[in-house]
Amino acid sequence: MTFDWSYFLSLFSMPSFWEASLTVIELSGLAWLIGMVLGFLLASAKLSSSRLLSVPAGIYIWFFRSVPLLVLVVFVYNLPQLLPGTGGVLSNPFNSGLLALVVTEAAYMAEIHRGGLISVVKGQKEAGRALGVGTLGMQRLIVIPQAFRISLPTLINEYITVVKLTSLVSVISLTELLTVGQRLYAQNFLVMETLAAVGLYYVLIVSVFGWLFQRLEHYLSLDRRKPRTLTAPQLADLKASLKASAVNVRPASAPGDAPALQLQNIHKSYGDHDVLKGIDLRINAGQVVAIIGPSGSGKTSLIRTINGLETIDQGEIVLFGESFINASDTPGNPQVRRGVRHIGMVFQNFNLFPHRTILDNITLAPRYHGQARDVSEHRAFALLDKVGLLAHASKYPHQLSGGQQQRVAIARALAMDPEIMLFDEPTSALDPELVGDVLNVIQSLAREGMTLLIVTHEMEFAMSISDRVIFMENGHIQLDAAPDAIRQDVHSERVRKFMGIERAA
């Protein structure tokens, strides 16, 4: 029996096939979009710390990934026998098929989204919290855009799967491609020719939409975006517009006011390991305090508690004479979030938002808190000029060196107009030749009267810039003294040995 080529080719001009193709596109598109949204909600619920959300979501995903789609399609179509009130909707094969596909795809897409969500590094959320961004704002501005980029290739693959799964809806007589083909070969018995045409229709749909999705993936890919440096004329015009609005930091408070920061009997532990064992610290406005000590001494934990990134087990943190953080407070506490806006944080690993340009990184928090776009952008340009990166405003973080990224992180923190700046090992992730640029920016902040707390291993820098050096060991403050006192005091031998300096004559 020979293959009937003329009949096969005639099937591509048959209106019923093209109408069925539109049905497949509509059914698969709706199932994919609705399933993607519901899947994200399920993934978020499964990742929730509340068992009231995570357990039901986990059960849903487990169950509907286990039930065959064909069984579910037939069950949903016949559901009006059990629930007569659903007959008006589910008696339509398209509606029944769509519901079955959505219920199944939501379970599969939940796991795809979960993979994307857990791939967004913890530091991104901490950077958002340090800028006072709330939970919903964090998801909308920081987490979801990054998670979607990570998940997109798998989501596209899932759409192709959905297109092919629509053929199963033929079991309830929906007029889609396979149904049209079955009716034809039941009449003329040309099975091979008809199924070959059906297959090519599916290939055509997958190819067209696969190409469109591939274009979307390329558009969203940050690696394909070319670095854009401002030209000399653009830079000159921008600098001229910034001349009248030089950016300077403001002192935390006037002399005689309450201390900028007070830590009272701060305790912090991770499980059975105590990292902070009763820390008492008072920092006045405009002081520059360097915190040094061996690894594991509690330096980073101390600075993270000050910014509300870690809860405390005991004690209180007072900001400008008002209670800021207590042992009973949670990171999302409104009082903590309000206080955090007075404190800028610069992280060891920068924690810039990779999906946003340098300009957007700096304007994100001010705009989130209600500042007008033109005002926030003008200030961002001024801050970039201050840290020597104005020409790079339109680049993305991965297009900058480590030292440049850290300077952007400083500018981002300053955009919130903080009264205290915290630096957590600001140079430890940098190559030696990049350290100087970052330290110069920090020195300029100190000269302008900003209150600074700097966790650092740059001992010469700590001694040259600081009003006080705090030496921590085993969760305690072992020494709190001025640099000159450390050089001369006979009781500072342990600190001098750690710093590698000699006692002054």
Whose structure tokens read 């005991």?
Answer: 314
Give the CA radius of gyration of the chain.
31
**Separation in Å, CA 360 to CA 2, 218, 466, 485:** 65, 21, 32, 44
437 sits in the region (left: phi over 0; alpha: psi -120 to 50; else beta) called alpha
pTM of the predicted structure, to 2 decimals: 0.86
Domain boundaries, the chain: 5-220, 253-258+285-298+342-499
Give 339's DSSP letter.
Answer: H
Q: Do domains 5-220 and 253-258+285-298+342-499 have the same CATH topology?
A: no
Backbone angles phi, psi at 320, to 5 degrees: 55, 40
Fold of 5-220: MetI-like fold (1.10.3720)
The pLDDT tens digits along the chain (505 residues) read: 688 889 899 999 899 999 999 999 999 999 999 999 999 999 999 999 899 999 999 999 999 999 999 999 999 999 998 888 888 889 899 999 999 999 999 999 999 999 999 999 999 999 999 999 988 999 999 999 999 999 999 999 999 999 999 999 989 888 888 888 888 888 888 889 899 999 999 999 999 999 999 999 888 888 888 888 888 888 888 888 887 666 666 665 554 567 889 999 999 999 888 999 999 999 999 899 999 989 888 999 999 999 889 989 999 999 988 889 888 777 667 788 888 889 999 998 899 999 999 999 999 999 999 999 999 999 999 999 989 899 999 999 999 998 899 999 999 999 999 999 999 988 877 777 778 888 888 888 888 889 999 998 888 888 888 999 999 999 999 989 898 888 887 667 888 888 877 665 5
Question: pLDDT value at position 359?
Answer: 96
2: exposed, middle or buried (Cβ count in 10 Å: 0-12, 13-18, 19+): exposed
Report the alpha-carbon distance of residue 263 to residue 315 in Å, rounded: 8
Structure token digits, residue 40: 């994200």
> Strand, helix or coil at 269?
strand
Give residue 251's pLDDT. 60
| CATH of the structural domain 253-258+285-298+342-499, one choice from 3.40.50.12160, 1.10.40.30, 3.40.50.300, 3.50.50.60 | 3.40.50.300
The answer to whether 64 and 102 have CB atoms below 8 angstroms apart is no
- DSSP letter string over 137-156? HHIIIIIHHHHHHHHHHHHH
One DSSP character per residue, 449-492 reads T-EEEEE-S-HHHHHHH-SEEEEEETTEEEEEE-HHHHHH-GGG
Other CB atoms within a 10 A radius of the CB of residue 299 amount to 24
The answer to whether 361 and 377 have CB atoms below 8 angstroms apart is no
- Give pLDDT, residue 503: 65
pLDDT of residue 289: 93
What do you get for the CA distance between the two ends of the chain, in Å? 107
β-bridge mates for residue 325, sequence order: 317
Nearest C-alpha neighbor of 453 from the set 425, 473, 481: 425
115-120, long-range: CB < 8 A, 24+ apart: 115/150, 115/151, 115/154, 116/146, 116/147, 116/148, 116/149, 116/150, 116/151, 117/43, 117/44, 117/47, 117/143, 117/147, 118/47, 119/146, 119/147, 119/150, 120/146, 120/147, 120/150
The letter for the amino acid at 361 is: N
Q: How many angstroms separate the CA atoms of 95 and 31, rounded?
A: 11
